[in-house]
Amino acid sequence: MDLGTPPGGVLAIEAQHPPEGNAFTFGGAVEAAKAYNHKDATASKTIAGYAVLNLFAEYQPPGVEGLVIRAEVNNLFDRTYADRATYGQDFNSITPLYEPGRSVQLVASMRF
């Protein structure tokens, strides 16, 4: 009805840890949504649940003040999914806007 999306249950877990004695930080996140098993108003289908895993590793070279090199993999298992807040997932006639599949990034940043 164009007045709101039904989000249902959405879960996020995020953690990071720098093991002692080296220059690395490791972390990851899970983004998940529960299956939405209602078909209200003019909806033509229910919405499947999803769970996506993102991982990263950061390296801070001890010799260079402020430099961080970060490698990350998002959507590690290459799930095809639309964020739960995306419009149109409950209609057969609409292909929702999917989030990116597995993506790999290497980022170097310098703070000064």
Which residue, 39 or 102, is less far from another protein as judged by CB?
A: 39
1 lies in the site for another protein, by CB under 8 A: yes
49 lies in the site for another protein, by CB under 8 A: no
Closest CA to 80 of 53, 104, 105, 99: 99
User: Using CA atoms, how far apart are residues 29 and 56, in angstroms rounded to an integer?
Assistant: 9
97 lies in the site for another protein, by CB under 8 A: no
Contact characters 63-92, another protein, x per CB under 8 A: ------------------------xxxxx-
37, 38, 61, 109: residue in contact with another protein (rule CB under 8 A): 38
Binding-site size for another protein (CB under 8 A) equals: 29
98 lies in the site for another protein, by CB under 8 A: no
Q: How far is the CB of 102 from another protein (least distance, A)?
A: 24
Q: How far is the CB of 88 from another protein (least distance, A)?
A: 6
Phi and psi at 14, nearest 5°, equal -145, 135
Neighbours of 69 (CB within 10 A): 16
* Cβ density class 9-40: b for 16+ within 10 Å, e for less: eeeeeeeeeeeeeeeebebbbebbbbebeeee
